[in-house]
């Protein structure tokens, strides 16, 4: 599929969300009292339940106070209505139920029933030398850890979750980047980088939600596989990160190492893997695409990892529409390199929240 791109939208192109963003506001530090850093996941609460108010923003942390990746254990809550920030949940780093311990990733969601589900891709030394398979942790709406999910299909839950929430049942889509991952010391002589594999997957989890009880897994289906992943000293690992579900049941996936976005059709019903799916767009304004969200217009907005830009894409046309600077920190090269990760729409659908890893902050982009 051909790709057309520009740093500014052409006059004959439909306006997207990024073109309307004119304000960027610091909201809060994402560091809790225990000193966890490196904010990853950002989600907005869909309902008021327990200690959560609808519209609250939850952010988790991947690093501990020593800045070791794969050791963060906290989720903080920011309340837009009062501008209050407080700790929502914390678990022990050496949680025995989770293979390898805890390092909370960008894989996080909150269901309308109040359950918060978050992925762990743990380490003990901050690198994949000591990586564990990890798990999915379930919290109630008061931040209490109530369940841990492990299985042979769960290994390094990494990408931001796409969610179908029906109230009494739900379907989650999560990328798994841990399969076949080697130590960063294992270098490919041809590239000079750690050895790259293609064993990362996209996993669909189908669950029921009994009244007043935690979700119960009913089935797990690998609907995508063959995605690139490798260890990285600066970033722990590089693998498929962004997942967003279209209204036509197409799941879009960012593959940072191949610098592309692909599409998996019939995501909620397919019984076999689509492989990497079909190519939507590649290269152009993309610079290691990470977390991704779908707008009301049906466009994709993806945060770049190699610079501080977000990129808007029309996935049906396969067209890159616009790039917008979220973080232009000149301390990195290119500006903002490595500073972005999680991104999510605000409750009004006209603004979006994002995190800045360089200053451990939650920000909002607004019209």
CB 238 within 8 A of CB 175: no
pTM of the shown model: 0.95
**Pairwise CA distance, residues 361 & 317, whole Å:** 34
SS3 188: coil
Which tokens sit at 94?
A: 């050496």
The structural architecture, per CATH, of the domain 18-366 is 6 Propeller (2.120)
In this prediction, residue 15 carries a pLDDT of: 75
Question: 335 to each of 24, 70, 329, 357, how far by Cα in Å?
Answer: 16, 25, 5, 13
**Pairwise CA distance, residues 257 & 234, whole Å:** 14
CB 137 within 8 A of CB 102: yes
**Pairwise CA distance, residues 121 & 184, whole Å:** 15
Q: What is the CA 16 to chain-centroid distance, rounded?
A: 22
**Pairwise CA distance, residues 280 & 147, whole Å:** 37
In this prediction, residue 342 carries a pLDDT of: 96
Q: Would you tell me how many other CB atoms lie within 10 Å of the CB of residue 275?
A: 13
CB 177 within 8 A of CB 225: no
CB 101 within 8 A of CB 124: yes
Residues 6 or more apart from 355 whose CB is under 8 A from it?
A: 30, 39, 40, 42, 59, 340, 341, 342, 361, 362, 363
Residues 6 or more apart from 109 whose CB is under 8 A from it?
A: 43, 116, 117, 118, 161, 163, 172
Which tokens sit at 68?
A: 């070791």
Rounded mean pLDDT for each run of 10 residues along the chain, 367 residues in total: 40 75 97 98 98 98 98 98 98 96 98 98 97 98 98 97 98 97 94 95 98 96 98 95 97 97 98 98 98 96 97 97 94 92 96 97 97
In this prediction, residue 12 carries a pLDDT of: 53
């Amino acid at each position: 599929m051909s790709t057309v791109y520009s740093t500014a939208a052409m006059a004959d192109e439909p306006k997207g969300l990024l073109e309307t963003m004119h304000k960027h506001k610091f909201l809060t530090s994402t560091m809790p009292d225990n000193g966890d850093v490196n904010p990853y996941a950002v989600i907005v609460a869909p309902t008021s339940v327990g200690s959560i108010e609808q519209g609250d923003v939850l952010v988790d942390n991947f690093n501990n106070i020593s800045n070791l990746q794969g050791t963060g254990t906290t989720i903080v809550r920011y309340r837009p209505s009062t501008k209050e920030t407080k700790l929502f949940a914390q678990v022990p780093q050496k949680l025995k139920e989770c293979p390898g311990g805890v390092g909370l990733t960008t894989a996080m969601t909150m269901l309308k029933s109040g359950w918060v589900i978050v992925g762990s891709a743990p380490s003990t030394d901050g690198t994949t030398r000591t990586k564990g398979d990890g798990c999915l942790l379930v919290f109630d709406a008061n931040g209490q850890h109530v369940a841990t999910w492990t299985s042979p299909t769960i290994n390094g839950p990494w990408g931001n979750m796409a969610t179908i929430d029906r109230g009494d049942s739900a379907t989650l889509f999560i990328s798994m980047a841990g399969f076949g991952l080697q130590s960063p010391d294992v270098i490919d002589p041809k590239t000079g980088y750690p050895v790259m594999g293609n064993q990362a997957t996209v996993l669909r989890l189908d669950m029921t939600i009994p009244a007043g009880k935690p979700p119960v897994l009913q089935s797990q289906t690998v609907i995508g596989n063959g995605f690139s992943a490798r260890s990285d000293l600066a970033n722990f690992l590089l693998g498929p990160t962004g997942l967003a579900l279209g209204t036509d049941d197409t799941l879009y996936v960012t593959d940072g190492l191949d610098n592309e976005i692909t599409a998996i059709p019939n995501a909620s019903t397919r019984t076999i893997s689509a492989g990497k799916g079909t190519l939507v767009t590649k290269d152009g304004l993309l610079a290691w695409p990470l977390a991704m969200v779908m707008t009301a217009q049906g466009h994709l907005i993806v945060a770049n990892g190699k610079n501080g830009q977000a990129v808007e894409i029309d996935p049906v046309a396969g067209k890159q529409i616009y790039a917008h600077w979220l973080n232009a920190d000149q301390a990195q090269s290119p500006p903002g390199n490595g500073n972005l990760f999680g991104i999510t729409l605000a409750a009004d659908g006209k603004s979006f929240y994002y995190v800045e890893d360089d200053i451990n902050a939650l920000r909002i982009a607004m019209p």
